[in-house]
């Protein structure tokens, strides 16, 4: 299984609209990726390692695919539309990691 994580680093003057992300962006992404997308999770940062410290990430989205190829085939043709929606919910440049789930 392949996991694609999209991480949105927290910081001063960075904004992230979790409501839009969960209720508008993710349903659009799910529809565009179709049956290649096997599952997805969302995480909202609430704190860091030390009590009271800020979360390193405002939010994280995780998508699961059977293979890297399945991800590429589904995301590639839709990348422009998906990435073009980012300014509607954040001013953060996301970090993307592709991982093999062990």
The residues that bridge with 98 in the sheet, in sequence order, are 4
Spatial CA neighbour of 48 closest among 58, 39, 38: 58
Please say whether the beta carbons of 60 and 40 come within 8 A: no
d(C-alpha 5, C-alpha 61), whole Å = 6
Quick check: helix, strand or coil at residue 56?
coil
Task: Write down the mean pLDDT value for the chain.
Answer: 97
pLDDT digits (tens, 9 = 90+) for 31-54: 999 999 999 999 999 999 999 999
**Positive or negative torsion for Cα 98, 73, 34, 83:** positive
pLDDT digits (tens, 9 = 90+) for 67-77: 999 999 999 99
Q: Structural domains in the chain? A: 2-46+55-100 (3.30.70.100)
The DSSP 8-state label assigned to residue 66 in this structure reads S
């Amino acid at each position: 299984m392949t996991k694609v994580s999209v991480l949105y680093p927290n910081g001063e003057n960075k904004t992230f609209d979790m409501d839009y992300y969960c209720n508008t962006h993710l349903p659009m992404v799910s529809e565009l990726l179709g049956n290649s997308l096997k599952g997805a999770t969302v995480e909202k940062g609430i704190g860091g390692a030390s009590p009271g410290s800020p979360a390193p990430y405002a939010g994280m989205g995780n998508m699961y695919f059977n293979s890297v190829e399945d991800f590429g085939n589904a995301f590639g043709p839709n990348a422009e539309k998906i990435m073009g929606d980012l300014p509607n919910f954040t001013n953060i440049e996301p970090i993307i990691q592709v991982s093999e789930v062990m």
